[in-house]
Structures are given as C-alpha cells and as structure tokens.
Structure 1
C-alpha cells in the first residue's frame, strides 16, 4: 500500500514538470514574436521617413555607377574580302585575217605601248595595195590628159577672141566707109556677118573650156576616191602587225604561230599591273563607314607578313537587291609588280572620325518600365544628385556598345547600373566605380 502511494506521487510530480515546461515554451515564443514585430515596424517607419512611397522592402540610398558621354566608334574595323585585277586590262584582237607568222611574247612578259608583238601573213594585202596604187596612177594620168585638153581649149579661146577683135574692127571701118558712100553697103553688111561669126566661135571655145574643166573636176574626185581606197588598203596592211596598246604585262595567250586568224579573234590579254584594282562587296549596313578617298589596309594570303595601303575610288550607286551588297572599288599601288591579278585580298576599312555618342549597352533603360530605348541622365539639384529618363535613338549596336544619334550629348553624365530600379526624379548616390 505504501509503495503504491509513492508511485502515484512521483507520477503526479512528473506531470506537473511537463506542464510547466510546455507553458514556459509558449511564453517565450510569444515574447519573441512581439520583439520581432516591433523591430520590423521601426524599420518600415525609418524607410518611409527616408524615401516616402518606396515600400517596406527597400532600405538605404540608391547607389548608381555613372559615366560621362563621349563621342567614339564601336566595334572593330570593317573587313571584307575581294580579288585583285589590273587597273587597265585590254584584249588584243586581230583586225585582219591570215595566218599568224610570229608571236614574240608569252604570258608574264612585259610589253611597252607601241611595241610590235606579232605578224600576220600580209602577201594578199600587199598585192591589193599594189593594185589599188596602179589604179590610182591611171586615174592621175587621165587628169593630166584632161588638163592638157583644157589648155588647148584655152588657146582656141584666145585665138577666137583675137579673130573677134579683128572682125569687129573691120566691121566698124567698113560701115563708116559705107555711110560715106565710099563702098557698097553690101560689103559693110558682110563684115558685120563675119563679126557675129567670130563672136559665136569665141563662145563655143569658152564653153569647151568649161566642159573640159568640169571633166577634170570629176577625174580629180575619182583620183581622191582611189587615193582613199589605197589608204584603206595600206591601213589593212598595217593591221597584219600586232602592236601593244598599253604598257603592262601579258596575262593570257590565246593563239600560237601557224594558226589561221580571223578578224576580231582574241590573240593576247594585256594588263597594266602598276596599279591594281580591288573590288569588294560591302553590306548596306556598313556603307556609312565607307567614303570615297578613304584609306584602307589590304593584306594577301600570298604575302602574309605585308600590309598594303589603298584608297577607295568608287562606290556603286546601286546595291545588289538580293544580298543588299554594294560594290566598292579600291586603287592599290603595286610597286615592282609584286602583286598579280586574281589574288585574294582582305580589305580592312579604317574607322572614320567618330561623330556619335557611344555608351555601354547595359546603360539602356536602367530601371525604366518602357520598351523604347531610354537612358537615365544624372543632374545636380540643390546639392543632390537626381536622375531623369531620356529617350535616345540608336544608330548601331555592336559587342555591348551602342552608338546614339540623338538623346544624349557629349559631356552629360548618365547611369550605367544601379542597385535598385530608378524612377524620374530619384535621388541617387554615385558609387566608387563611377567615372570622375
């Protein structure tokens, strides 16, 4: 009985201890919640006093990293590939027909303007020239004969004129005697008839002179025409000699001695390699970085350790409608003909003078709830730094850099990044990383 009473007392005591421990835990939890709530309330009130309307989850000043806007260029220099060709290139064609007797040059040989390069068979043309010259000589003889006849006719005119003068004098004298009754009137009339006959003879002789002079003019025109034919024959004869039209290098050879050549057939291709021409196709997006007269750097796989300087001489006014590529022509000096035609050229266009403001891409729309490109500009107001959003217009965007055409002026300070979103008129503090 006594043992049972002891066990009951011990159980009652243990239960009392467990109830006390649970009650103590509940009291401590309630006190902890009360203290934490007061702390959060004090923090919210402090935040509200520092920046009204920011909410209860932000604390402390907004720190921003800033930079100063400057003009500049973005990206690397533009690089395009093209091929070389002679500045002047001519295909020498035959202007006559015949067998090619000789060809003195081959591919790679240098030639001078006016140099004799080859010879065609000229026997037939030489025969034609002699025939035309003989015809010309015959017509010149005809002219000489006609001139002799004209001279004879002119002599007859002078004789007829002298006869007329004598007949006129006789008629006048006999008419005066007839009027005086010294001779019969019939004799005076006969003298007048002889005078009229002499006048008719003079007119006939003069007409014969004019006719023969007209014949001479016609013969002289025939001589001139024949002379033109002779000149043409001689000109065709000169076409049998192949002459270089420029100073340069033989690029291709199309025929060999012994071949039968037709008029217009290709014989040689010549090129002036003292100055090369490089053609490249530039994208219309990069056309704003190319100007006539702009210097370019050109490299060749054939000469990997050398760089040549060229100049943009022509920009095509139209682009390829399919690829939107614009043909560009570049002049490249070629001293000692070191470079040849058809080489792969890598052309790097040097940057033009910077005219646009360039900023980091991350500076666009810092904390702005808008789809339009925006930059926050920093201004100083009442000894405080505030920010205002400003819309900008983008020209180019390359490798994290943005070129602006409008919206930001050189020298203005703008926000690159901030630790919290920004709003118009927000008071900010510059970080140590900001540009001084």
Structure 2
C-alpha cells in the first residue's frame, strides 16, 4: 500500500527586482500580510451582510393616514341633449330651398326646408272647388227642393180631396141608380191614386227637410269635401318644413334639387335645454348610485376644465353584453366649449367619510372576500393583521377596524414576506405612494 504524501504549496514569489536583503525580509513578513487581508475581507463582508442577516430585509412600507375621504365612481361617456329631433318630410317632393346650414342655431318655427308646391297648391284649389259644390248642393236642397216638395204635397192633398168628393157624389148616384158599378170603381181608383201621390209627395218633403235623408246626404258630402280640402292644405303646409323647437342643427343631409320622401331624416336638431352627460357604469357600482349625487366631469378635449354635474337618471335595466348601467347627469351650467357627442370623463361622488383611516388598496390581501387582511409592521416584524373595510376608491381603502393612523403596512406585491419575518421598513405616506393599477 502506498500513501500520498501532501506536497506543500509553492511559496509565493517575491516581487521582481528586490535586492537580496529585501527578499529575505519579504519571506519573513509574507504570512502575516496574507492573514491580515483575509481578516479585512471577512470584516467587510460582515459589515455588508450583517444588517440583512440580523435586522432582516429592507422593504418599503406605507403609512396609514387619517383624513376626509370621498368615494367616487369613475366612468366615461358623451355629451347629449335630453332628446334629439330627426327632421324629415311627410310628403314626397323636390327640394326647392334649404335656407339653413349645419351647426346653425334656429328658432322654433323657422323654415328649414322648402319643397316645390305647385302641384300641392293645385290640389288645394281642386279641394276648395269640391267644397263649394257640396255647399251649393246643400243650399239647393234647402232653398229649392224642400219648397217644391212642400208644394207638391199641397197639390197632392187637393187632388185627394177632389177625388174623395167625386167618390161621395158617385156613391150617391150609384145608390139612386143613376150610375153603374164601373163608373163607381173608376172614381175609387182615382182616390187611391191621389192618396198614393200624396204619400210620395210627403216622403219627398220629409227627405228634403232639415234632418231628412237628402239633407243628410248633402251634409255628408259637404263634410267630405271639407276633409279633402283640409288634407290638401296640410300637404301644402308639409311643403314647408319648420323647426319644431329652438336648438342647433347638428346634421344636414339634404340639398336643393333632391327628391325626398317620408321616412328619411333630412336634418338632426338638438333642442335647446338641459345638457346631459350619458355614461355607462359597471353594474357592480349600482348599489352606490343614487339620484342627486354630485359629480365632476371633464371633456377629453379640455382635460383641465372641470364642470359640475348631478346624477338625474339611472336606467332600470342592465346591459347584458357589457354588464353596465346607463346613467345620465344634468349639467346646470354647461360651458360654451361643450359640444354634442363630445367624450367626457365623469367622477361621481357616491359617499363621503370625515376623518377616515385610510390604507393603500394595494396593501390589502383578499379585499373582495369576507376576511381581508394586511401585513402590518410591528416592532420590526411583519404581522398578519385582519381588517374590516369600508369605502374604497382612488387607490385607497377605508379601514373601519384593525389599523390606526401612523401604522405601517406592506404592499401585497412585496415578495418573500411571511408572518413574523424580521424586516427594516422604510415608510412612505399613502398620498405619495402610487396606487397599483
């Protein structure tokens, strides 16, 4: 069996160029120099790593603050008048004149579009002639036919009286034997004929009198003619399209010479009145909304300008596709730069809490569950602290129980933190700490 004999390390060569005496001195002090360097390195490593080993890692912590807090619901939408009016025509025709321009303000009753009206005017004249004819027919019935019918009744009554007198005389002569049966029958036929003529004349008189059938027919014809004239006049009126209310024309899709027909919008009018902001709110915030809540809004085109608004309408239905609720806010004093359909951002103040204890929302674990908690700094240690939350918004959460102003909490995204871990906390305030997205 052979054993390996350890070979001593080769002594470090002295620096080149030393004299013989210096070389002997170098050999004597070299071991002491090497040992000193090792000790210095160990001391430097301890100075660098010692605090981390002994005091724990250095982490950023947020200070819990206490101040007035407003919970807000933020959403975006657009500017809209309470309603829009699509201006169209009710008759088919050719556009003669369009005296207004898009973007122009108009008054109620101001002419917007004129159509060619010669044919419509001729229809009105024809309808007026039909009315005159119906009135003349009714007048003729009352002034001519009724008196003639009355005269015919009187004449028929006289004829009947004469026929009856003749029948009485012939009956006496027949009883005395002076006339035969044939002559008596002829007289009786004459009486029957006179009675029939009287009944016919009376019927004609009854029909021609007020309330009779002839007068009813004539009066109905007059009413029909009047209705036709009204239709013709209304169609003539439709040839001139006027503004139904004061407002601003936000769209125009018609030019002179166009052939227009019902069902096509020629212009869109935004009536003067309340300006509203229409926004979509996530349905999760529905329980926080209430009519009358104040809000601040800004147009995307003018982000530095803030305008006051008030919640005026909450749609009773929920948009299934987007999971949102449409709400409308009144703008009591709209600025001049606000335009129809302009995009706006709205900040609705749904709750206010004076002197609330606030913690950054990104420091709360399980915030949407029944038992939220935070890592609280307690005497240089991380402690799991249950909390009870209240209002939330703007990157902050109200703490109803579990923390006090001045406490330090750790962001939830801080890695490597566990309950009881020793650490060194560097505090920043909730206002200066940027909330996590």
Fold conserved (TM > 0.5)?
yes
Paired position in structure 1 for 2:432: none
Aligned mates of 1:241, 1:165 — CA distance in 2: 68
SS in 2 for 1:118: strand
Gaps of 5+ in 1: 1-66, 366-370, 376-390, 409-413, 423-436
Paired position in structure 1 for 2:200: 204
User: Please, what TM-score do these two structures have when normalized by structure 1?
Assistant: 0.60
1:350-370 deviations in Å (ceiling 9; x for gaps) = 242559x977699x99xxxxx
SS in 2 for 1:310: strand
SS in 1 for 2:235: helix
1:330-364 deviations in Å (ceiling 9; x for gaps) = 12235575421121212111242559x977699x9
- Which is greater in Rg? 1
Aligned mates of 2:333, 2:392 — CA distance in 1: 37
Judged with a 3 Å threshold, the aligned counterparts in structure 2 of structure 1 residues 310 and 336 are, in CA distance, closer, same or farther, namely: closer
Is 1:143 the counterpart of 2:138 in the alignment? Answer: yes
Aligned mates of 2:275, 2:193 — CA distance in 1: 87
Matching of residues 153-192 of structure 1 within 5 Å: 153-161=149-157
Question: Residue 163 of structure 1: CA displacement?
Answer: 5.7
Aligned mates of 1:266, 1:415 — CA distance in 2: 62
Is 1:123 the counterpart of 2:118 in the alignment? Answer: yes
Aligned mates of 2:357, 2:315 — CA distance in 1: 29
Aligned mates of 2:189, 2:220 — CA distance in 1: 43
Judged with a 3 Å threshold, the aligned counterparts in structure 2 of structure 1 residues 354 and 287 are, in CA distance, closer, same or farther, namely: farther
1:165-207 deviations in Å (ceiling 9; x for gaps) = 67778989999x99xx9x9999999999877665444322102
Matching of residues 27-426 of structure 1 within 5 Å: 76-147=71-142, 148-161=144-157, 199-212=195-208, 213-334=212-333, 337-354=336-353, 372=371, 399=395, 401-402=397-398
Judged with a 3 Å threshold, the aligned counterparts in structure 2 of structure 1 residues 337 and 224 are, in CA distance, closer, same or farther, namely: farther
Question: Residue 120 of structure 1: CA displacement?
Answer: 0.5
SS in 1 for 2:221: helix
SS in 1 for 2:274: strand
Judged with a 3 Å threshold, the aligned counterparts in structure 2 of structure 1 residues 86 and 361 are, in CA distance, closer, same or farther, namely: closer
Aligned mates of 2:345, 2:268 — CA distance in 1: 26
- Note if contact 2:307-2:334 (Cα within 8 Å) is conserved in structure 1: no
Aligned mates of 1:196, 1:85 — CA distance in 2: 86
- Note if contact 1:114-1:245 (Cα within 8 Å) is conserved in structure 2: yes
User: Please, what TM-score do these two structures have when normalized by structure 2?
Assistant: 0.60
Aligned mates of 2:74, 2:122 — CA distance in 1: 62
- Note if contact 1:89-1:272 (Cα within 8 Å) is conserved in structure 2: yes
Judged with a 3 Å threshold, the aligned counterparts in structure 2 of structure 1 residues 74 and 116 are, in CA distance, closer, same or farther, namely: same
Judged with a 3 Å threshold, the aligned counterparts in structure 2 of structure 1 residues 402 and 252 are, in CA distance, closer, same or farther, namely: same
Aligned mates of 1:264, 1:233 — CA distance in 2: 20
Judged with a 3 Å threshold, the aligned counterparts in structure 2 of structure 1 residues 403 and 153 are, in CA distance, closer, same or farther, namely: farther
SS in 1 for 2:81: strand
**Count of equivalent residues:** 322
Judged with a 3 Å threshold, the aligned counterparts in structure 2 of structure 1 residues 111 and 397 are, in CA distance, closer, same or farther, namely: closer
Q: CA RMSD, aligned part only? A: 4.4
